[in-house]
Structure 1
Amino acid sequence: MNEKVLETLEYNKIKGQLADFLTTDRGHEIVQKLRPSSDHREVAKRLQETEDGANIVRLKGEIPIPKLTEISPYMKRLRIENAALSGTELSHITKLLRAVKTVSDFFDDFQDEAVDLSVVSQTVQRLTLMPEITSRMIRSIDDDGSILDDASPQLRRIRQTISRAQSDIRTRMGKYLKGSDAKYLTEPIITMREDRFVLPIRADYKQHFGGIVHDQSASGQTLYVEPSNVVEMNNQLRRDQLAQRTEERRVLAELTDLLRPYRQELLMNMNLMGQLDFVNAKAKYAHQIGAVLPEISSKNSVNLRQARHPLIDRNKVVANDIQFGDQYTTIIITGPNTGGKTITIKTVGLLQLMGQSGLFITANEESRIGVFDDIFADIGDDQSIEANLSTFSSHMDNIVSILKSMTPKSLILLDELGAGTDPKEGAALAMAIIDAIHQTGCDLIATTHYPELKAYAYNRPGIINASMEFDVDTLRPTYRFLLGIPGQSNALNIASRLGLSPKIINQARSFTDTDNQDINHMIDELTAQTKRAHDEADKLNQQLAESTKLHADLQSKFDQYQVQKDRLLEQAREQANQVVEKAKKRADQIIEDLHRKQQLVGQTPVKENELIDAKGALNQLEVAPALKKNKVLRKEKAKHNFHPGDEVLVKSYGQQGTLIRRSKNGTWEVQLGILKMQIDESDLEKAAPEKQPKQQFQTHVSRTRSSGMSPTLDLRGHRYEEAMYELDRYIDAALLAGYPSVTIIHGKGTGALRKGVTEYLKRNSRVKSFGYSAPNAGGDGSTVVKF
């Protein structure tokens, strides 16, 4: 990419804004060297890298990269044998090692996110982790370059000795600050001179203290004296401080030798951290300016949707749709000056440079860029006094250079083509230059104010007219790009609205030829039609945005409803489980009470009404009120319309009966076999038709039409506890139904069920006798019970 176009389109200003988001010296170096690429794969990779960074910024804020100083000079010094790095230099390397570990941990956590970082992840994988060296460096060197106590045991001991010595010296010298000797001091303080503790003593009392004079004040009135009783202590302190420096130099040399074999790894880590810093900067910069990822066209078919210049305030700049490279490769923008033509072509060129550099562009989603091998631009007044070139000559010099360098895959931007000379000759020259460029097949956007070029572009294949909209009512440009409509001069209209005499205006119109007036009239109509189309499109876009927002709101409410519904269902299930658990416990208590009554020796048998009440209480647990009223668990509420004589099912007993009469308290008198009972209406249900008899038991029991239950109970396939429970329920129901005998099918198998049935029947006082069935009726696989 030629350097001139980078300067003309202010590409370096984009890089300057991008650099504000960097934290590493290597990142700044990468941005400084950044140039647009003309390789399609390289551009795609760069943009994918920026998209990875945008996803990271969106999900995690940014990659945690601290401020890192360039370490390349230090690595060069490591090549010199016995050369030791300073504490500051080692601290910069330590920051790099710590940052590598932090970034590695960051991306380990990022793997949980449902986003694939196709390019950045490859960069992270190339980082070299050095955990032992990192730990040693962090333990030894502080961020400011000072050596920490943990750098070596010897250094820690020496520093502890120094600290104690300093404390002892201050304690001994502190006596001079409070006693009778304090009057000989100019100030009651202990200070330092030549790394030794001294007292500020009045000059005329120096003999009183003795010791060593290290300094005096400018006036000579104060002497800084080291008392004789601390001289040896200061000497020892000095020896300890020298030992400390020696140990610190040894530690620095040891740490330097530790890093020496890893020069290449450290340099690579620095480079990779700079690259990740660059990714961070690209993503944050894109977020700041509202840029998006562009698509890439392999055929250089450019379609910029609502493109805006990135260096102009996004709240002030006018966005435009610009497309070329497909049906037409040349756009000629005509019309008066100050209408926004130059900004339009600069926007196209700068967005192309940004996209080919791997930066997001300031346009709407689904915008498309090309990959040009070079971009040429001749924009602005390049008059050169030093070269004695006029504006026209300077422009021609640039265009000649462009014509020599362009290829079919180039993009050319020419502003005010042919300006600066005779209008007739300038227009003719402009058309010839456009022809020459267009024939090569490269893409061209040119601006001009020559009316001759409007007709030129009208009937040329692959060339299209365009203009910038101008509001005649307000006498101001709107900066809206109008593709397919040539521009027109509004000089006469503007002069008329500014109050110029109608006579002069009409005289001026008479001087313009009829063809030009017809063209201007046609342009007026096209402009009006286009404006209406744009206004309608804006209105439709607004309606679409409102509809989209409404749809999003409705979807959000529906999602909330679904979540709430699922939560209520879960609560209902939990409540149901609690009720069932409570019912099971109550059932076990009832069964245990019945068994206890039956097993009492010497007691009278359980009365019929006690058995019926217990059985009713047991069955009633199956239809607990909490479950019955739960709207979630019941699909529909049963509707009752009872009349005397109706056949009903008493749900708590599991028996069918006949309604006799309704009592005043809301209960019904029901005939159950030979018994008449008062039953609550909520415990009644109309009996199902005989062809579909309602089953009460979950076992293999089929009811007969007359009694509502089978005289046979099949326990095969049941677990032992479940079988005993079903047997107990079945015997009670058979007794209530008035059966003289029943048959229990338990199978042969291991004999466990058969033994359990036998033991139960022995305990039941209502059983008269029992025995195995006849050989031809099942033999010892079933038991016949008589009551």
Structure 2
Amino acid sequence: MVTSHHSVLKQYAYAHENLLNASMEFNGETHEPTFRIISGLPGESHALDTARRMHLPEIVLEHATKYIGSELVEISTIIRGLEEKRREAEAREAALDARTKKIQEQVRHMDLQQLKLKQQEQLLRKEQIGDLSRFISEKRSELENLVAELREGEITREKTLKVKDFIASMERQQADSERKAHEVAQAVEADTSRGDSENITYSIGMDVIAGPHKREGRIVRKEKNGKWIVAIGPMKFPLHEKDLRPVSSKVTKDRKKVSISYESRSVAPRPTIDVRGMTLDQAIEVVVMQIEGALVHSVGSFSIIHGMGDGILARGIHEYLRTVPQVTNYYFARPEDGGYGKTYVEF
């Protein structure tokens, strides 16, 4: 091992593959060594910088600079540039490592969520199969008793009532079982969606299940207020991330095999809707349904009564209308018709 400031030795090490340059990292802000060895990068002299920091006479520094020569100064500058690039590369590598770890953690969390979902589904199936087996066994026994009674003697009003009660009991138990299964399925879906939403990064072009009606759409852009604009059929809606869920790969795969037709359940829209007293999100939801109904039923215009108040509803509704491409114009009503408390919408 050789320690030296001579550039000839550094060049010699570069020229021979059996030798390796190395240096000790130097903190330019504190002007102190960090005692960290940098392999492959030759060190540079900090003598002039240290002398200048110690307020040596400038004439001495000028003579020293001339003495070492411009070539060595250029080499020192090159080394300093390489050192800066090394720090930048290390910073990028650290950022990339952090991002990789975060992605790995997200993948691990999603895998755990999927495993949890599968376990819940298996448990649900076992419970449903057990309940169904008990239900069939009980009803088979009751049915056999009823058949035996009907075969014995004549059919009386009492026997007829027993049959009706038996049928009604089966219908009630079936409805109750369906309701419980639906509640459990909803709870599983909500738990899974809640876990997944914490680790999902949404982006433009992503296919999602959106809104309270669970419709499939595609993200178009992100608004400044944090909402995403989602295209659902011919319309676009502003939605929070909590109202979105990514379309699974299975659904995406199945989409190639299944032709999905859109059928609106909208009734004919009213000429005027009143959203006073609602929150902005509630009002937007009503406006969205009204616009959908208007488009489906070929209605050319309608009006919204939002009141004046502090103007939050009016501003929010107007901001949303600006994002709907089918809306050609919207404006406040005349003073005698409601003024700033009412908005007309045209398609």
Greater RCO, CA 8 A, separation 6+: 1
**Bigger Rg, which one:** 1
TM-score (norm 2): 0.45
